[in-house]
Amino acid sequence: MIKNLSGEYETVEYDEKKYVMLYDNTDNESYPVHWHNAVELIMPMKNEYIVNVGGVDHHIPENDILVIPPCELHSMPAVKGRRLIFQCDNAILGGVPALEAAMRAVSSPLIINSAYDTELHILAQRTILDIVPLYSSRAELSDVKIYLRLIELFTAMREHQLERQKGMMDCADDKLDEYSEKFSEMEDLKSEYGELAFTVNVEGGEGADRLSEIKTEYNKLKADADKIKDEYLAPSVEKAKEAYAKLQSGEEFSKVAEEYSPDTEGNENGLLISVKHSGSYDWSKEVKDAFAKIKQGEYTEPVKDDEGVHILYYLSDEPAGEVGLDSVKDKIKEILMIDVQEDEWNQMLETWKNDESVHLNEELVRSVTYSPVSVG
């Protein structure tokens, strides 16, 4: 149940003198469509969790992390299990000019898992698990330490995004920086619009004129950003046209991909894509829309999105139904072992806590209890 919901707007009720909120959630209940000004991180601990963000279902396996930006409409169906749900006040990080570049990392929904980037996945896990004992701590600097960990995570996310952009796009760093700056300004306007729209439409406050101004400013920034994107994508567009012409002339897709694609290594069998759900790779709307129009054995025309230019080939379908035990037994064993170790550890801690002769080193306990476990 969402405590403070007015229409679709949720007011996140932070604990007194805290600017973060953490839920160790085991409720088997649905949450209606809503949005808030907080950045939200969700990590399932037991069982997969499902979150619909902007009309797209994100299926999050255990120990993977979904990042939901501020002002994004999202909802959750009732799912049995346990997940850590963390929210932080976007106004604190977003209001610091020096952190603007890092906050661009949370401009769109993202699932962080080992397929996306192994090191980033481990860092995201560690960040969430480090926050758990800090959140329950009454230490004076606990919130400061939480935000320092978030800054480290968001910075690493942004660095990864920029590296991917450089790998996909043939352009100078100053062009990427210029585009990122425009994009950041657009995200700031979205946040301002969300907060002001709540004041005007729900509370009956003033600001309707400013809402109109924001729309005008946003559209101008978007036009400028699109122009920059077209400029730095131009070389990639030309390469994609050459590749498409070769496909049209009858060359095999695999050979053309090997010649033109910068990231075919490890993808010989293709990558999973769904037009309804998110997967291990977070495909853009442009890519999903184009893929939905082709049949097995067909390829698309060049598709342009924020990460570059793509030509998609419909290789095969992933069959639905039961998965063979041999293909998942090692994963099951690993998960069960983690559960058993966690249960045994918790029982041992309870025994020690009730034994007056035992002195617990809380810092050491936290470092052991919440060390990251990678099951990706």
Domain count, the chain: 2
Tokens of 112: 């962080």
* 138: in domain: yes
Q: Could you give the CA distance from residue 19 to residue 225 in angstroms, rounded to a whole number? A: 33
Residue that terminates a domain, selected from 168, 195, 211: 168
Question: How does pLDDT run across 155-185, given as a tens digit for each residue?
Answer: 999 888 877 766 655 556 677 677 777 877 8
- pLDDT on residue 97: 74
- pLDDT on residue 70: 86
Question: How does pLDDT run across 195-214, given as a tens digit for each residue?
Answer: 777 677 666 667 788 888 98
Domain region containing 363? 328-369
- pLDDT on residue 270: 66
* 58: in domain: yes
Pick the more confident residue, 42 or 365: 42
Would residue 207 be called left, alpha or beta, if left means φ above 0 and alpha means ψ between -120 and 50 degrees? left
Residue that terminates a domain, selected from 138, 168, 198: 168
* 351: in domain: yes
Q: Could you give the CA distance from residue 131 to residue 135 in angstroms, rounded to a whole number? A: 6
**Angle in degrees, 0-180, between the axes of helices 208-248 and 173-201, rounded to the nearest 10:** 140
Q: What is the mean pLDDT of residues 297-320?
A: 85
At residue 368 the predicted structure's pLDDT band, cuts being 50, 70 and 90, is very low
* 130: in domain: yes
For 74-86, give one letter per residue: b (16+ CB within 10 A) or e. bbbeebeeebbbb
* 10: in domain: yes
- pLDDT on residue 157: 93
Question: How does pLDDT run across 267-282, given as a tens digit for each residue?
Answer: 556 676 766 655 545 6
CATH number at residue 92: 2.60.120.10
Q: Could you give the CA distance from residue 281 to residue 340 in angstroms, rounded to a whole number? A: 30
Residue that terminates a domain, selected from 141, 168, 195: 168
* 13: in domain: yes
* 125: in domain: yes
At residue 80 the predicted structure's pLDDT band, cuts being 50, 70 and 90, is very high
Q: What is the mean pLDDT of residues 143-154?
A: 92
* 341: in domain: yes
